[in-house]
Amino acid sequence: MIKPELFDIVELLINLPEAQQVIGNQGTIVECFDDGKYEVEFSNEEGETIALSTLSEKEFIVVWQAKTKTWLSVSERLNAVINNLSENKQQELLNFARFLHQVS
């Protein structure tokens, strides 16, 4: 699992109705707290802050690493999402992947 760091870009795994943010929206980590929480800033196309939310690692995945200045591959992002699922949901996903492999 990739450890989130300051200025990484993250993608939401949950909806944040109070911040008007939905699954898939991207934001930037602007603060890392000692308790494992992260302050994430969401901006509009002009770069203006539209929301700030304190999130746990289970509520987002890292999609771009500031340290290396690289986007994570689809397989790395998929792996991060899978790691946040319960064992039962991981099994369901494996069964679905098998189905997709069959029909392709």
Show me where the domains of the chain are located.
9-103
The arithmetic mean of pLDDT across residues 42-60, rounded, is: 96
- pLDDT tens sequence across 20-30: 999 999 999 99
Give the confidence band of 14 by pLDDT, cuts at 50, 70, 90.
very high
Q: For residue 71, is pLDDT > 90? A: yes
Q: For residue 98, is pLDDT > 90? A: yes
Are the beta carbons of 25 and 14 closer than 8 angstroms?
A: no
Give residues with Cβ within 8 angstroms of 8, minimum separation 6.
28, 29, 62, 64, 65, 66
- List Cα–Cα distances, 63 to 34, 37, 70, 99, 102, in angstroms: 22, 17, 9, 27, 29
